[in-house]
Amino acid sequence: MNSVKNQKRIVSLQDISCLGQCSLTVALPILSAMGHETVILPSAVLSTHTGNWKGFTFRDLTDDIPGILDHWDSYDIKFDGIYTGYIGNAAQFDMALRMKETMLNEGAPLIIDPAMADYGKLYTGFDGEFVKKMAAYSANADYLLPNITEAAFITGMEYKERLTYDTEYIGKLVGAMLEMGAKNVVLTGVEYKEGEIGVCVCDRETGTMQYYFGEKLPTSVHGTGDIFASVFTGALIRGYDVLESASKAAKFVRLTIENTPSTHVYGANFEGILSKVNDI
């Protein structure tokens, strides 16, 4: 485990969903448990996440962020990584890039989870104009972590359902994101055959695609994408390579699904196994 002397500091820009086990309420405990000082920059505050809930409240915090960054700048605060997730206002993309330009230690990465869509559809509140801005922002990623749906939206390619695509389709998706500017792509939710789900990783320098596959469980729960991105970020900043980080994240996601009762429909019970996050 990291000592205070060599502890890394990560800043995460995404929302606080007060109820729902996602976004910052996932990122903060997971990154902290992995030994990192975790600084939060809330993009918005929601009463619940936007899936499976009706009538949720949403408070946009865009106007508060410049003042927070100014304050950090006045103390010359630096970070060993930036991790962005759900961003409800595209104006915040420039604020994240400001952090990348002025607040990152040398060699530190910008990790982008373009959290905006799944199962072929955009999340509530997003539209085509937002997709264009997300695509432009994602081009700045050192590590881009989309699911299949988000990758299709970002690249403008056709979305294909699970088990209907092949390695050529995945290769084109990944290649298009690298060509846009992302340095590394970590594509989640890759399914070539029944009963198996995995992650494809590829870097722009070599263009070599690598995979991690595991058993696909019969159930799915909300928030596993945020859990994956958080564990991936924590592992990467601890010095694991991209495939190791992705495999650790995928394994922990599986554990959380196994640990979540079928009656718990709005999130994943990661808290009950958080002590295992450094053992995988």
Q: Where are the domains of the chain?
A: 10-276
What pLDDT band is residue 276 in, cutting at 50, 70 and 90?
very high
List pLDDT tens digits, range 26-59. Answer: 999 999 999 999 999 999 999 988 877 788 899 9
**pLDDT tens per residue, range 123-137:** 988 999 999 999 999
What CATH superfamily classification does 10-276 receive?
Answer: Ribokinase (3.40.1190.20)
3-state secondary structure of 14: strand
251-256: Cβ within 8 A, 24+ apart: 251/214, 251/280, 252/227, 252/228, 252/276, 252/277, 252/280, 253/224, 253/227, 253/228, 254/214, 254/215, 254/217, 255/280, 256/221, 256/224, 256/227
pLDDT tens digit sequence for 207-244: 999 999 999 998 888 889 999 999 999 999 999 999 99
Distance of CA 212 to the CA centre of its chain: 17
Mean local confidence (pLDDT), 147-163: 98
pLDDT digits (tens, 9 = 90+) for 31-40: 999 999 999 9
Task: Please give the Cα distance from 23 to 87 (Å, whole number).
Answer: 10
* Distance (Å, whole) CA 186 – CA 200: 6
Work out the mean pLDDT of the chain and round it to a whole number: 95
